[in-house]
Structures are given as C-alpha cells and as structure tokens.
C-alpha cells in the first residue's frame, strides 16, 4: 500500500513534467514540429515514459491542451460511415460531445484558448486531431482538400460560438436531429460538393 502510494506520487510528478514541457513546445513550435524526443528531453524523462502515459503524440497533445474528451474515440464512426454521410456522422458526434457531461469543459477550453493567445494550439487541435479522420477518408478524392476541411471547421466553430457560447435562442432550442438536418448538407457540400466558381 505504501509502495503504491509512493509510486503514484512519483508517476504524477513525471506526468506533470511531461505535460508542462509538451504545452510549452506545442505552443512555441506547433504540433508538427514538436517531437516526443524534444518533450522527453525538456521534461528530463525517457521517451518511453511518454508513450506509456499518453500512447502517441496525438494522445499527448490532447492531454496537454486538457481536452476533456478523447477525439479519437468520439470520431471512431467517421472511419467507417459512407462517404456521403461523412458530414452528418461527424456533426452528430460533435454535437453529442457538446451535450454530454464533458461539453461545458470542451466549450470553456475553446473559449479560453481563443482569448488566451493559444490560437496555435486550437489550430493544431482542429487540423491535426479533429479533422484527421475526415482527411483520412477523403485522401485522394480531389483538389482543395485543405480548403474543404477548413471550411468544414469554420461552420463547426461557428456553431460552437453561436449555439454554445452566445446561446442564440433558435440554435439553443434546436435538437440534434434538427441541427444535423439543417447543417450537415452544408458541411457535406464543403467536403465533396462544388465549392469553386
């Protein structure tokens, strides 16, 4: 029992050191240009310990930004749904997170990041984590993939701002089915429709 308590406390310190180093490096250098080795060196731990705690770089990133929900698990259905249901499937999963017990923390974190000068963290979270499964599904389907994904992100971010932060009454009142019916066709157009003149 004593040994267990002792180990936990030691683990907790190393884990915190890793998270602190990761936060600094991700903020300064972004997701792509940060390596697990850099984080390990900066935290003074073995890289294997990072894998042990966080799995991989995405897991470390999610933990570092204190994202209170695991995007990989949330977005699992996106990996297998039909391509023409990509938008509806993703949107439904995201709306369900906002309505879940983790919702308030997700929203508070987004709001805080927008004003705390953590733009780069949110940008990386969006592009490297949340949009990654959609990018995976659409790889090789055509040009403009980056533009399509960021247009998609713009509508989702806008829903978060207007429904969850500003709480515009008609959007607050709409249930998830109604929102998916109203918004998913627009999101799907961004992903697979004609978006140029």
Here's the x/- map for its own copies, 153-182, by CB under 8 A: it reads as: xxxxxxx-xxx-xxxxxxx--x--xx--xx
Residue 87 CA from chain centroid, whole number: 16
Stretch that binds its own copies, among 54-62, 72-80, 84-92, 184-192 (CB under 8 A): 184-192
Verify binding: residue 16, its own copies, rule CB under 8 A. no
Number of residues that bind its own copies (CB under 8 A): 44
Supply 34's token pair.
């940060």
CB nearer to its own copies: pick between 38 and 111: 111
Verify binding: residue 5, its own copies, rule CB under 8 A. no
Query: Which value, to the nearest 10 degrees, does the dihedral of the CA atoms of residues 33, 37, 38, 44 take?
Result: 160
* Residue 6 to residue 11: CA distance in whole angstroms: 9
Verify binding: residue 127, its own copies, rule CB under 8 A. yes
Evaluate the CA torsion angle 7, 13, 124, 38 in order and state its sign.
negative
* Residue 98 to residue 27: CA distance in whole angstroms: 25
∠ CA 128-151-116, rounded to 5°: 60
Q: Which of 42, 151, 176, 192 binds its own copies (CB under 8 A)?
A: 151
Interface residues toward its own copies, by CB under 8 A: 111-112, 114-115, 119, 122-123, 126-127, 146-147, 149-151, 153-159, 161-163, 165-171, 174, 177-178, 181-183, 185-186, 189-190, 195-197
């Amino acid at each position: 029992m004593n040994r267990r308590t002792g180990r936990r406390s030691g683990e907790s310190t190393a884990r915190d050191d890793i998270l602190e180093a990761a936060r600094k490096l991700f903020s300064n250098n972004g997701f792509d240009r940060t390596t697990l080795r850099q984080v390990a060196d900066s935290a003074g731990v073995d890289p294997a310990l990072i894998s042990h705690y966080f799995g991989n770089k995405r897991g470390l990133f999610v933990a570092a930004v204190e994202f209170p929900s695991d995007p990989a698990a949330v977005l699992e259905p996106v990996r297998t749904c039909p391509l023409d249901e990509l938008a509806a499937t993703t949107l439904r999963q995201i709306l369900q997170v906002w309505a879940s017990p983790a919702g308030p923390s997700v929203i508070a974190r987004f709001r805080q990041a927008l004003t705390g000068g953590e733009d780069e963290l949110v940008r990386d979270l969006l592009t490297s984590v949340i949009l990654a499964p959609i990018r995976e599904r659409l790889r090789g389907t055509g040009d403009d993939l980056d533009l399509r994904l960021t247009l998609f992100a713009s509508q989702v971010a806008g829903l978060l701002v207007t429904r969850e932060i500003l709480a515009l009454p008609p959007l607050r009142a709409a249930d998830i089915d109604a929102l998916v019916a109203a918004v998913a066709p627009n999101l799907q157009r961004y992903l697979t429709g004609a978006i140029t003149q």
